[in-house]
Amino acid sequence: MTDSFTTAFASIELSDQQQSLLEEVRDFADSVVAPAAYEYDTKRALPYDIIAQMGRMGLFGLPFPQQYGGQGKDYVSLCLAIEQLARVDQSIAVTLEAGVGLGVMPVFRRGTEAQKEEWLPMLTSGQALAGFGLTEADAGSDAAGTKTTARLENGEWVIDGTKQFITNSGTEITRLVTITAVTGESTRADGSVKKELSAILVPSGTPGFTVEPSYDKVGWHTSDTHPLTLAGVRVPEANLLGERGRGFADFLQTLDEGRVAFSALCTGAAQGCLEEAVRYAKSRTVFGRTIGSNQHIAFTIARMQARVHAARLACYDAAHKVAAGKPFKMEASIAKMVGSDAAMANARDATQIFGGYGFMNENPVARHYRDSKILEIGEGTTEVQLMVISRALGFGG
């Protein structure tokens, strides 16, 4: 165990179980995920063998009760696992983060007992993945822009519409996508129309449900991301998830919680860049001395360390609040914003320290450089986080 690893969590209070999990996932990331990262990034393919190993380790079931096939751990444990994976491969980390936070969590939080019994065991074991179908061409943070519709007809929801940028929606083991749809409309006192949004479970393979070709993305090449088309899709009325008309509100709560796990991914990415920069600066020799002996390089890496430290403190402050059942909405936005800033800045600095080597895709910092930009966009842009934080301080509508 390196000194940097030992000191990384010096200010984070972990239980013996959490510390053991951290070390187990870190070893797995270094010995299994990292050696395969470049190969699968080049292939743009999800490594199902690695996902299966993660399932056997119980990573997809970490924060869920054992009665549903989970591990009975807390949210901090999930964040620890995501961070360690993100150090070496953001695509693998987001497959876990989205698989749990956006795939399993809505069913666990809002599902009926019958829905939980049907879906949770296969999802918490990692044998299956689920997607989270919120975003559309004109809708994301703006719920009013949702155009996907669902109407009741003979005891079934008939769904029509499209979704975009949906993670884990088209893998070989995807079994479910939860979507938001307009299930009704009402007229406000001022004459404007208010859309009733609800969440509905759509099993993969349902007639009319089409997973379109995957995106050609700048980064996260191993992660599965697709647009979806729903044309006359019929599912039972019982597939309503949660209360009718509360679909978007419930999804926003899911996103709040998911941002904490997402901030762990950001922290891991920033940590991975730091570790690579430290290693290279101590080994790369120019003009008869290591580049780390140059004050500019040393100070740059010192700033990288400071960013990681701040991101980690913000992340686990929010994660402990989630685990304790305390309010965490503002803290989640702070953690996500600080973490994504740290990841992007550290990726830029690490690439600069590596010079030409940092521009080669086989170098982990090059992949972090490509991957980290989406961290400032996904699960709520930096601007959305600023809006949430400012509103918590009493500004805005």
Confidence at 59, pLDDT banded by 50, 70, 90: very high
> Hey, do 3-129 and 130-245 end up sharing a CATH topology, with the first three levels equal?
no
Structure confidence at residue 186 as a pLDDT band (50, 70, 90)? confident
Note the pLDDT of residue 1: 40
Minimal CA–CA distance to 105: which of 252, 269, 315?
A: 252
Catalytic residue among 156, 196, 379, 383: 379
Q: What pLDDT, in 10s, does the model give residues 225-260?
A: 999 999 999 999 999 999 999 987 888 888 899 999
> And the tokens for 38?
């470049």
Beta strand 174-187 with 129-133 is: parallel
Tokens read off for 342: 């740290």
What average pLDDT does the segment 135-155 reach? 88
Mean pLDDT of the chain: 94
Concerning whether 117 is annotated as a catalytic residue, the answer is no
Fold of 3-129: Butyryl-Coa Dehydrogenase, subunit A; domain 1 (1.10.540)
Q: What ranges do the domains of the chain cover?
A: 3-129, 130-245, 249-392
CA gap 204, 210 in Å, rounded: 9
- Per CATH, the homologous superfamily of domain 249-392 is Butyryl-CoA Dehydrogenase, subunit A, domain 3 (1.20.140.10)
- Of 392, 123, 83, the closest CA to residue 268 belongs to 83
pTM of the full predicted structure? 0.95
Per-residue pLDDT reduced to its tens digit, 337-382: 999 999 999 999 999 999 999 999 999 999 999 999 999 999 999 9
- Superfamily in which the 130-245 domain is placed by CATH: Butyryl-CoA Dehydrogenase, subunit A, domain 2 (2.40.110.10)
Place of tokens 């600023």: 386
What pLDDT band is residue 13 in, cutting at 50, 70 and 90? confident
Residues 207/169, Cβ–Cβ less than 8 Å: no
